[in-house]
Structure 1
Amino acid sequence: MTRKTRSAATEPHFQRSQSKGEKTTQIQADHHFLPLGQKCEDMIHLALDAIDRMPRAQKPVIGKQIEDSMWQLLELVTRAGRRFHKSTTLEDAVIALDMLRAKVRRAHKRNLISHGMYREWARQNDSIGRDLGAWYKHEREKKGTQRKTTPSTRAEAG
């Protein structure tokens, strides 16, 4: 049985990196969505510390909602990077980020998150929002430049 391989021109560039002392190998694709995914992971790391500091009674409710929203955002960013038609998934990611911001604001207003932690979290959310918005705008513009051929446009061209 032979395996078909893609040519080097169509294959995305991959780098293998292995940390010292670890047996796992991470594969990082050379795509524009990876920095955004890394920002989401950094935000999750920061947020899990903040959620751990929440009062015990609030962790299962608000803490869990915030954590689920962050994982959903990371999943949507990853899905958008892997899909051919990205705009609908990116739109869902923008909505997920808006919902996450609302939940974090609610937690701050209830004094479940310190002001310093909220300020850092909001800064990271804003950075993710700028990148996500730029990516979404780029995909919409790219979609708008692709001209669809309909029977009327074919008749005009011919």
Structure 2
Amino acid sequence: MNRLVYENPHPLALQTKFEEIMQYSHMALKQFPKNERFQLCADIKQAVDTAMHLIIRMQKRYAKKTTLQDIDVEIEYLRVLVRSANAYGYINTHKLQVWMKHVDEAGRICGGLIKFYNEKARTTS
């Protein structure tokens, strides 16, 4: 299935992956200490929500490249936040690996979409 996503990328694959990330993040953030729920948890939730908002915006736009770049930035910011949660000891190494696997897959899908739309722009010009 992953091979099909890269050969013929579709924005819906990115949205589906981020829905999985939202579900996993919700479960993982429940186990954070109470004092961090209003700081690091809020930042992680905000990054995931912003990325989902941008994904929906990208699907509705004709010119998708700039929005995809914004999504890519949010994915990288989410990676930083998840790594800091591990560094602070709020999540264990296994949870970090699972979470990063989801985020990395979303990053690969986003990168494939960026590459696809860049090629599409070059061929139509």
Q: Same fold (TM over 0.5)?
A: yes
Which of 22, 31, 44 is the aligned partner of 1:44?
Answer: 22
Q: Which residue of the partner structure matches residue 133 of structure 1?
A: 111
* 1:79 CA displacement: 1.1
* 1:32 CA displacement: 1.8
Task: Specify which structure has the higher proportion of helix.
Answer: 2
* 1:83 CA displacement: 0.7
Structure 1 letter corresponding to 2:54: L
Q: Which runs of 5+ in 2 are unaligned?
A: 1-8
Measure the CA separation in 1 of the matches of 2:41 and 2:29. 5
Q: What percentage of residue pairs aligned between the two structures are identical?
A: 26
Figure out how many residues of one structure are paired with residues of the other and give that number.
117
Structure 1 runs, 4 residues or longer, greater than 6 Å off: none
Root-mean-square deviation (Å): 1.2
TM-score, normalized by length of structure 1?
0.71
TM-score, normalized by length of structure 2?
0.90
Higher relative contact order structure (alpha carbons within 8 Å, sequence separation ≥ 6): 2
List per-residue Cα deviations over 1:41-62 (Å, max 9, x = no partner): 1111111111110000111000
Q: Which residue of the partner structure matches residue 64 of structure 1?
A: 42
Q: Which runs of 5+ in 1 are unaligned?
A: 1-30, 148-158
Q: Which residue of the partner structure matches residue 83 of structure 1?
A: 61
